[in-house]
Structure 1
Amino acid sequence: MRIVVVGASGNVGSAVLRRLRREPDVEIVGVARRLPPPGAGEPYDGVRWHSCDIGLAGAADELTGVFAGADVVVHLAWQIQPSHDQHVLHRTNVGGSRAVVDAVLRARVPALVYASSVGTYAPGPKDVPVSERWPATGVSGSSYSRDKATVEEMLDGIERSHPELRLVRMRPGLIFQREAGTEISRYFLGPLAPVRLLRFGRLPLVPTNRRLRMQVVHADDVADAYARAIMGDARGAFNVASDPVLTPELVARHFHGWTVPVAAPVLRAAATLTWWARLQPVDAGWIELALNAPLMSSERAETELGWRPSVDSVTALRELFAGLAAQSRTASPPMSISPTFPAGEGNPY
């Protein structure tokens, strides 16, 4: 079986490579803008690599050749930074996704597995989990969410016009693993964040708001869901998240901190001011997404894919904190410690 993974060098891509290496008789082709160096080690060695910036003109032509003979294409590539240049992000995330889909159709690949996320959903409840039927129209205040919803709308049209294509959309919550510590710190926290304090397993202050309720999942569990979708015959969308739901109170209890009530306007203002001052790399859209993204039910993934998370959400968060404190990384450029890589492949949300 020939599997092409676009965006194979980031947080999710690295985990998917690890998981697919366990499958017999599988040939893995990796596509990334910046390739792992020779001798990078597992899980990158043994993968046939192709360099391609999917956001550039001509990407569909280049990808068509790479996809020739593939049984499945897995599209994980998504650009998070530079958040101050929305044109660049839209070009890669929406235009690049269009290039991937066009190449899949030209190469007559029978299956496409796409990395969507909880961020594609319209604002929803924080007390009752929603199914995959919840509107995938995004949160208007988040450019990340708007782009995710735009790609999903495009895929709706592809499903209608190309019913022969087996199309799967994976919608995970926040995706954590220890090895992503450096990548997540660089993309979401910035160089001024005192992440080394987390080595003691303590988070002194935790902002609390009644709508700050989020779901996470370990990267290896997400990769297992991808593998089940790749190797099987499933179609459609699948929510992927583990329990328990992370609330500020739960985080404070497990990490020996104090909760500090913060109103939503204060959270938005703080994010906006520090972003404009370039003190941290994410804009207020991520606050909007955190406050408005619904909780998800993973019942369909459990029933149809036979998927069950092996790591609970608190353990996944604890592992990420350890990775942040230790600046954990891999040899691939997006997950490396080099400051010369400001934007990367993969989908951390």
Structure 2
Amino acid sequence: MRVVVTGAGGNIGRAVVARLRRQGVEVVALTLEPATFEHARVVVGSAGDPDVVAEAFQEDTDAVIHLAAIPAPTLGTALDVFAGNTRATFVVLDEAARRGVPRAVLASSYALLGMPFSPHDLHPPYYPLDEQAPPQIEDPYALSKLVDELTGEMVHRRHGMDVVALRFPFTGDTPRLEKAAADVRTDPATGARNSWAYLHVEDAAEAAWLAASAPLHGFHRVFLAAPETLSDRPTEELIAAHHPGVPIRTPVPGRRVPIDTGAVERLLGFRPAYKLPGQDG
């Protein structure tokens, strides 16, 4: 099996490349800056450059895992973030589709809902959140992720490529997650825009591998999250304090994350393996 990974030099990208290599997959790593990957062919350049992407797809490819993006609206101008992200996604999927690549995995985001980077204090329409929750987009990054998903849906309809959009929450390695948990437990408001959700980067890599290899057809968008929140307080207590008046459609017991991850479990059989120390939910 051969898989192209864009954004291979990022935190999730490196974890994905390592996970694929453990599986015996032949990897083509597309990265913006020169980098070294054991047992992988490296292509250096922008995922928004058709010539660079064509080089990555110069061999027969079974799947592409597209992770390349500017990951926050604060890391460039609004035009850089929106146009750069959406261009890269279109170029990668278009080049892959025209070469007959049968599967694509997109790094989408919980931020697509609009809350994390909004200039205003937004509240979700309901809890637990699911894939039917309407976005409230007020920033270019969230808008780019919505367009990325629509691009994946279009490519599926036009070319028949199977596409999975993984809506990652706040994601990091163990030290990053432990720091975030300490911040949230000191001040729960710091996690409210993200619904106190997280995912370990190794779980993100496992989900990407399953999305690239599991038997499935069609276009799918799915939320991911660890089963417990970053907080040490009951989730419904957090919701009442920081998102007052938001309806809770089904109970969220204990410290359960207020995101319904049933869709990704049904689609891929994915369950996160990592929990922060002290979590037993």
Please say if 1:223 is aligned against 2:205. Answer: yes
* CA deviation string 1:133-163 (max 9, x = no partner): 334xx4322221111112222222222222x
Matched with 1:130 is: 129
Task: Tell me: higher relative CO, structure 1 or 2? Use CA pairs within 8 A at least 6 residues apart.
Answer: 1
Letter in 2 for 1:7: G
Change (3 A) 1:64 1:171: same
Q: Structure 1-normalised TM-score?
A: 0.62
SS in 1 for 2:260: coil
Q: Which moved more, 1:98-107 or 1:149-158?
A: 149-158
Matched with 2:28 is: 29
Matched with 1:6 is: 6
* CA deviation string 1:192-217 (max 9, x = no partner): xxx9xx6xx78894253894532111
Please say if 1:169 is aligned against 2:192. Answer: no
Report the alpha carbon displacement of residue 22 of structure 1 after superposing the two structures with TM. 1.7
Give me the CA root mean square deviation: 3.3
Report the alpha carbon displacement of residue 85 of structure 1 after superposing the two structures with TM. 1.8
After TM superposition, list the pairs within 5 Å mapping 1:173-322 onto structure 2: 173-178=169-174, 181=176, 205-206=186-187, 208=189, 211-212=192-193, 213-235=195-217, 236-247=220-231, 249=233, 295-312=258-275, 314-315=276-277
C-alpha distance in structure 2 between counterparts of 1:74 and 1:178, whole Å: 23
C-alpha distance in structure 1 between counterparts of 2:30 and 2:191, whole Å: 41
C-alpha distance in structure 2 between counterparts of 1:4 and 1:89, whole Å: 23
Matched with 1:98 is: 90
Matched with 1:153 is: 150
Report the alpha carbon displacement of residue 247 of structure 1 after superposing the two structures with TM. 4.2
| Contact 1:119/1:139 (8 A) holds in 2 | no
Please say if 1:139 is aligned against 2:131. Answer: no
| Contact 1:118/1:172 (8 A) holds in 2 | yes
Matched with 2:20 is: 20
Report the alpha carbon displacement of residue 88 of structure 1 after superposing the two structures with TM. 1.9
Counterpart of 2:65 (choices 74, 77, 80) is 74
Report the alpha carbon displacement of residue 28 of structure 1 after superposing the two structures with TM. 0.6
Letter in 2 for 1:215: A
C-alpha distance in structure 1 between counterparts of 2:204 and 2:109, whole Å: 11
| Contact 1:118/1:173 (8 A) holds in 2 | yes
Letter in 2 for 1:178: T
The answer for unaligned runs of 5 or more in structure 2 is: 116-122, 236-240, 244-256
Matched with 2:40 is: 47
Change (3 A) 1:205 1:89: same
Report the alpha carbon displacement of residue 87 of structure 1 after superposing the two structures with TM. 2.1
The answer for unaligned runs of 5 or more in structure 1 is: 38-43, 185-194, 252-260, 264-293, 318-349
| Contact 1:54/1:92 (8 A) holds in 2 | no
C-alpha distance in structure 2 between counterparts of 1:158 and 1:306, whole Å: 25
Q: Structure 2-normalised TM-score?
A: 0.76
C-alpha distance in structure 2 between counterparts of 1:126 and 1:311, whole Å: 28
The number of equivalent residue pairs is: 248
Matched with 1:88 is: 80
C-alpha distance in structure 1 between counterparts of 2:112 and 2:196, whole Å: 14
* CA deviation string 1:140-187 (max 9, x = no partner): 22221111112222222222222x2111111121112037x5xx9xxx
Letter in 2 for 1:165: M
| Contact 1:168/1:234 (8 A) holds in 2 | no
